[in-house]
Amino acid sequence: GAEATKQFCREHGIKFEVCGKLLVASSPLEMQRMEALRAIHNRSNHRSSIIPNRQRDTSKPLPVHPCGGMSC
């Protein structure tokens, strides 16, 4: 996973920064769980959004990049 992704970026001249883990929610339930994890991490009862609301519309697919990945 992580090493293959970094190698792909190196081979294709894609800049990247190693700063944590990449988490991808593939369903509304997974998004809720990710937000709950963020709230726990922040030690608050307020569930801060992981991504801007404009990007949370699950009725529209995210654009696919030539590398096969998705952007958000």
Closest CA to 47 of 33, 58, 27: 33
The torsion angles phi and psi of 47, rounded to 5 degrees, stand at -90, 100
- pTM check: above 0.85: no
Q: Helix-strand-coil percent breakdown of the chain, rounded to 5? A: 40, 5, 60
d(CA 69, CA 12): 13
Q: What is the pLDDT of residues 3-37, one digit of tens each?
A: 998 999 999 999 988 887 777 788 889 888 888 88
